[in-house]
A = this chain, B = another copy of it.
Amino acid sequence: MKQRSTPQRRLVMQAVSELEGHPSAEEIYLRAVQLCPGIGRATVYRCLKLLVLEGRLRRVGLSDAADRYDRKTQPHYHLRCERCGALIDLAVPYLAGLDANVGRHTQFEIHRHILIFEGLCPDCRQRAGNHR
């Protein structure tokens, strides 16, 4: 199964690039529709999946909201506001030794780890403080 570079594929990549931060599939779809009316949601989902497989995008899975997509594919962590849902990249150094460490203590073969910090962003923090 050889894959083609279709206009839609390029367009989805472009939509992600134009959207700042970590857009969801729906946000990417809405932007893609602007660029190419008629594109289908399923196509966007399929393209995103392929782009992640190719390593051109990274999927940030959230347990209680739609997944987000990230142009930055190198390992890094995320910070999320539990009130407004904002998701931002963290500059904290990647804890490369953790995987080997856990592998040594369990019979698992560790491939990666996912680390997400949760709390309140400055805006929500202030808003929360005000009506307390």
B-binding residues in A (CB < 8 A): 61-64, 67, 79, 81-82, 88, 90-92, 98-99, 101-103, 105-122, 125
Contact = CB atoms under 8 A, between A and B. Distances in A.
B106 A90 contact: yes
Given A63-B67, A92-B102, A102-B79, A120 B114 contact: no
Main SS at interface, chain A: mixed
Copies of this chain, how many?
2
A91 to B, nearest CB: 7
Nearest to A82: B111
Nearest to A123: B107
Contact of A118 (B79, B113, B122, B125): B113
